[in-house]
């Protein structure tokens, strides 16, 4: 393959030629993975913390376009927690969290929808389109994509065992994902970018945790992968070392012994639910790493923690 005496390569300085050949080899090495995922659906959850500087956001967008170009069906579901926080602070609206979920009153849900379905969604769509793709922005209201009911949470008092119902306001729990609109874009160059906003029976607007929304969409699409882009390398063990693979049973054990805590718990629960619901595997990975999505899908080592059934 690397005939250094060929008329094309003999003219080129050796270092440059080796670099070209390495690039060509990298592309060639990706071929089996492109064949593996070609025609399959990959849902990418792009978290608010993973949306770093502009250069990184453009790189993410290019990676998504590349997936589409090689025949994979990517669906981007984005978050925006830090961006909502900033806007609420600017408007002097207080916000509190229960179990990692934002308590969402009417004024807050209007802001959440504006930030998620408005500015962030448009930014991601623009980045993908600047990278040569054809992205289309949707919220869970479009095409009846995500029907919700009000999320019911209870809290048990450890002393009295009395359960109290917590009111999180307009926080939605997906009850039905209608994939009609997403399937409509398959086998085309159109890339759906979904904001985690849902609709209710009475026409209400619901704020959905973005991990939950991505998991529900991945399950409904029976995706080959659910990629959760966050701001840690993946699931870390007690010594802060990355765990590359987990079965559902392993993940449950790590939650029980406290290795997995805080914001990682709902993430893992979403992955478990998605995998139990028919998604081949879910991956928790660092979205701030350049080309994280390509590394995960097109290299033998992958990029983060891969969770599969057993
Ligand atoms: N075992 C673990 N491995 C990695 N992260 C963990 C673990 N246990 C708890 N965490 C916490 O989970 C956080 C990721 O969840 P979260 O902040 O909700 O992410 P996002 O905002 O991207 O949805 C990490 O920043 C880390 O503090
Ligand atoms: C109910 C609920 O908490 N909704 C989230 C939606 C955004 C989100 O989940 O964004 P990240 O993925 O960036 O955290 C919120 O209001 O912050």
- Distance in angstroms (rounded) separating the CA atoms of residues 3 and 7: 9
Tell me, yes or no, whether 4 lies in a domain.
no
Ligand 2 atom nearest the C-alpha of 172 is 1
- List pLDDT tens digits, range 175-194: 999 999 999 999 999 999 99
291 CA to centre of ligand 1 in angstroms:
20
CATH number at residue 114: 3.40.1160.10
Q: Describe the crossing of helices 248-256 and 264-276 by its angle, rounded to 10 degrees.
A: 150
- List pLDDT tens digits, range 43-72: 999 999 888 788 999 999 999 999 999 999
Residue nearest to atom 17 of ligand 2 (CA): 81
Tell me, yes or no, whether 22 lies in a domain.
no
Tell me, yes or no, whether 294 lies in a domain.
yes
209 close to ligand 2 (CB < 6 Angstrom)? yes
- The mean pLDDT value for 148-157 works out to 90
Size (the chain), residues: 310
- Distance in angstroms (rounded) separating the CA atoms of residues 107 and 91: 11
Cα dihedral sign for 263, 285, 116, 87? Answer: positive
What is the ipTM, given to two decimal places? 0.95
Tell me, yes or no, whether 30 lies in a domain.
no
Q: What is the domain extent for residue 117? A: 40-308
Q: Describe the crossing of helices 106-113 and 81-90 by its angle, rounded to 10 degrees.
A: 120
- Residue 284 contacts residue 270 (beta carbons within 8 Å): no
At 1, is the pLDDT very low, low, confident or very high (cuts 50, 70, 90)? very low
Ligand 1 atom nearest the C-alpha of 81 is 21
Burial of 261 (0-12, 13-18, 19+ CB in 10 A): exposed
pTM of the complete model: 0.93
Closest CA to 204 of 68, 58, 104: 104
Decide if pLDDT at 14 tops 70: yes
Q: Which residues contact 226 (CB under 8 A, 6 or more apart)?
A: 42, 43, 45, 214, 215, 218, 271, 274, 279, 281, 282, 283
In total, how many domains does the chain have? 1
């Amino acid at each position: 393959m690397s005939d250094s005496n060929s008329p094309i390569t003999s003219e080129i300085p050796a270092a440059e030629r080796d670099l070209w050949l390495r690039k060509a080899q990298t592309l060639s090495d990706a071929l089996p993975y492109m064949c593996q995922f070609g025609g399959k659906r990959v849902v990418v959850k792009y978290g608010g913390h993973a949306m770093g500087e502009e250069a990184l956001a453009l790189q993410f967008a290019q990676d998504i376009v590349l997936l589409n170009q090689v025949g994979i069906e990517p669906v981007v579901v984005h978050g925006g927690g830090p961006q909502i926080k900033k806007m609420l602070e600017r408007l002097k609206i207080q916000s509190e969290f229960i179990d990692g979920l934002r308590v969402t009153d009417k004024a807050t849900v209007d802001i959440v929808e504006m930030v998620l379905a408005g500015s962030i969604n448009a930014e991601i769509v623009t980045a993908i389109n600047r990278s040569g793709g054809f992205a289309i922005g949707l919220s869970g209201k479009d095409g009846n994509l995500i029907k919700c009911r009000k999320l019911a949470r209870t809290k048990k008092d450890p002393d009295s065992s009395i359960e109290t119902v917590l009111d999180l306001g307009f926080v939605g729990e997906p009850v039905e994902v209608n994939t009609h609109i997403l399937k409509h874009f398959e086998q085309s160059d159109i890339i759906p970018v979904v904001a985690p906003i849902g609709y209710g029976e009475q026409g209400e607007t619901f704020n959905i945790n973005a991990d939950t929304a991505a998991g529900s969409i991945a399950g409904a699409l029976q995706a080959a992968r659910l990629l959760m882009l966050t701001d840690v390398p993946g699931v870390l063990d007690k010594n802060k070392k990355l765990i590359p693979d987990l079965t559902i049973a392993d993940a449950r054990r790590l939650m029980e012994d406290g290795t997995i805590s805080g914001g990682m718990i709902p993430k893992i629960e979403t992955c478990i639910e998605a995998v139990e619901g028919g998604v081949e595997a879910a991956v928790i990975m660092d979205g701030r790493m350049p080309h994280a999505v390509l590394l995960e899908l097109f290299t033998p080592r992958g990029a983060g923690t891969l969770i599969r059934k057993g």
